[in-house]
Amino acid sequence: MEEKIYYKSTRGGQNGISASEAILKGIAEDGGLFVPSRIPKIDLKLKELASMNYRELAYYVLSKFLVDFTEEELKNCVNNAYDNKFDTEEIAPMVKVGDSYFLELFHGPTLAFKDMALSILPYLLTTSSKKQGLGKEIVILTATSGDTGKAALEGFTNIPGIKIIVFYPEEGVSEIQKMQMITHKGNNTHVIGIKGNFDDAQSGVKRIFRDEEFLKTLEENNYVFSSANSINIGRLVPQVVYYFYAYLKLYSKGEIAEDESINVVVPTGNFGNILAAYYAKEMGLPINKLICASNDNKVLYDFISTGVYDKGREFYTTISPSMDILISSNLERLLYALSGEDSKMVKELMDSLDSNGSYKINDAMRSNLKDFFGGYASEEETKKAISDLYNKDKYIMDTHTAVAYSVNERYVKVSEDNTKAVVVSTASPYKFTYAVMNSIDNKYADYNDFQLVKEMSSLLNKEEPLAIKDINKREIVHKTVCNKEDMKKAVQEYLNF
Ligand SMILES: *Cc1c(COP(=O)(O)O)cnc(C)c1O
């Protein structure tokens, strides 16, 4: 019999942890990330999976990873998550435009792919809390580059036993993203702007998680932290599902033959989404290339091409802000896999990142990277991709999706690989209206984001999504802004101890 799956830290400090415990903890005590002791393999033929709807497939995939959840518990989580808060019964529709396939992951309540995982995480977390007999109030502490924040707020609002605190870079998110967060209602939510960029916010949160004295005080006050960031294994696993869904859709629509390989193209920031694709491939889904698309913050492109990860570089604020990241946290999980699960090596690399701002992987690890292709798109290339596709097919991509689309076009040219590719579409164009509409026509230069929602809706001849209708007229409820050094104090003030 196969050994039961448990979770362990990428840095070797913890082992034999159950899925529910890993979900509750978020991050391992040694600062590493929880990874499954092995990647489960699919035990049904893809043909048999093809008849499942999204919820059935989600249950199937999740049950392989979260083995200490009962069937009833897991089905309950899945059914509460993937319901009519998505605007389509398909949950993650596959759209063919010309010769391209887009997996649209933005049909949830906040119009970005973060909803795919953050609509289920609260249920996984409260179920885990019950299973572990936690008996404490959970405080979700999260840093966002724009989309996570609102999706987490949406998921966790008014869930009993949970409070949520979101830090966002004050100048680093789109106007619409900002309004989505600071107008968010809910008696257990707190949103704080940071004078700094996303990496400052993320590093600040990580520091708080590792501040032992602070954690003790927290516990004395009957609170415990957890994370909604993509380092939580409870975020990662639900993302594996839609790669299966995408593949099976292509198969059932007759676009690919049985067991034919596909490429996936993923606009990447923290490396969570593409890591989920890698896990899907390891489970046995026929994925050929994993195409990792970056914007001008091309630290991952450089890493994949040279084996050197170096965050010591200029940070650019781009029109695809959810990818403006220099420290891709989930890459640690890939390093763990590439090194043959060598936690000592991973720890050395991460220590080097901490102290020198960089690390270099060895040749063996580099050769294990061969399934990945790294590319990046400049701001001009991103805008051009949006306008070209709109002019050709009247389909409007958001800026993040356009980065992926542009990188794939380049990949096809240089590789002459004609494997069918799925472009992962991570946000609705309505979230980034200014950049998107001005890519299509510079006559929109003097409009603001909110006016452009209306203009986009008339270009597409469709009602704007309810999620952002009249968002500029909503009441601002979160006004706190703090220096990046004062994040701990802000948490303390909100929790009142
Ligand atoms: C978060 C986000 C990304 C990056 O995803 P990662 O999992 O962090 O790599 C890309 N696009 C959008 C719209 C996002 O919100």
Cβ-contact 121, 164 below 8 angstroms? no
Neighbours of 370 (CB within 10 A): 9
- Is the C-beta atom of 272 inside 6 A of ligand 1? yes
Is the beta carbon of 93 within 6 A of some atom in ligand 1? no
129 lines ligand 1 (CB under 6 A): no
Atom 1 of ligand 1 has which residue's CA nearest to it? 322
Three-class DSSP category at 192: strand
pLDDT digits 0-9 by tens, 56-92: 999 999 999 999 999 999 999 999 999 999 999 999 9
> Which atom of ligand 1 lies closest to the CA of 271?
9
Residue type, 208: I
Per DSSP, the residues of 67-118 read TTS-HHHHHHHHHHHSSTTSSSTTSS-EEEETTEEEEE---STTSBTHHHHH
* pLDDT recorded at residue 1: 56
Q: Flag whether pLDDT at 360 surpasses 60.
A: yes
Catalytic position from the list 8, 25, 64, 114: 114
Q: Which residues in 150-294 belong to E strands, given as ranges?
A: 162-169, 189-195, 223-227, 262-267, 287-294
Given a cut of 90, whether residue 27 has pLDDT beyond it is: no
Q: CA 121 to CA 78: how far, in whole Å? A: 10
- The pLDDT value recorded for residue 23 is 95
237 CA from centroid of ligand 1 (Å): 15
- Cα(199)–Cα(97) distance, rounded to whole angstroms? 35
**Whether the CB of 283 sits within 6 Å of ligand 1:** no
User: What pLDDT is stored for residue 339 in this prediction?
Assistant: 98
Predicted confidence (pLDDT) at residue 196 exceeds the cutoff of 90: yes
276 touches 116 (CB < 8 A): no
Task: Give the residue, by CA position, lying nearest to ligand 1 atom 14.
Answer: 322
Mean pLDDT of 276-298: 98
For the segment 330-358, the average pLDDT, to the nearest whole number, is 97
Ligand 1: does its nearest atom lie under 6 Å from the Cβ of 189?
no
User: Rounded CA gap, 146 and 229, in Å?
Assistant: 12
Quick one: pLDDT band at residue 3, thresholds 50, 70, 90?
confident
pTM over 0.85: yes
Parse the chain into domains and list their residue ranges.
94-110+234-467
First to last CA, the chain: 50
**Mean pLDDT on 482-496:** 94
What pLDDT was estimated at residue 145? 80
- What average pLDDT score do residues 134-152 get? 90
Ligand 1 test: best mutation among 111, 150, 273, 433, most atoms within 8 Å of CB? 273
| Nearest atom in ligand 1 to 147's CA | 15
CA-400 nearest atom, ligand 1: 11
Q: Average pLDDT, whole number, for the chain?
A: 95
CA 197 to chain CA centroid, Å, is 18
Residue 399 in contact with ligand 1 by CB distance below 6 A: no
Distance CA 219, CA 414 (A): 55
Cα separation, 353 vs 432, in Å, equals 32
Q: Is the CB of 427 under 6 A from ligand 1?
A: yes
Ligand 1 neighbourhood includes 235 CB (under 6 angstroms): no
Q: In testing the pocket of ligand 1, which one of 426, 430, 431, 432 has its CB within 8 Å of the most ligand atoms?
A: 426
**Which CATH architecture is the domain 94-110+234-467 placed in?**
3-Layer(aba) Sandwich (3.40)
- What is the tens place of the pLDDT at every residue in 420-450? 999 999 999 999 999 999 999 999 999 999 9
Going by pLDDT thresholds of 50, 70 and 90, the confidence category of residue 147 is confident
- Residue 216 Cα to ligand 1 midpoint, Å, equals 33
Q: Is 114 a catalytic residue?
A: yes
pLDDT tens by residue, 241-278: 999 999 999 999 999 999 999 999 999 999 999 999 99
pLDDT over 90 (residue 210): no
Distance 492 CA to ligand 1 centre (A): 29
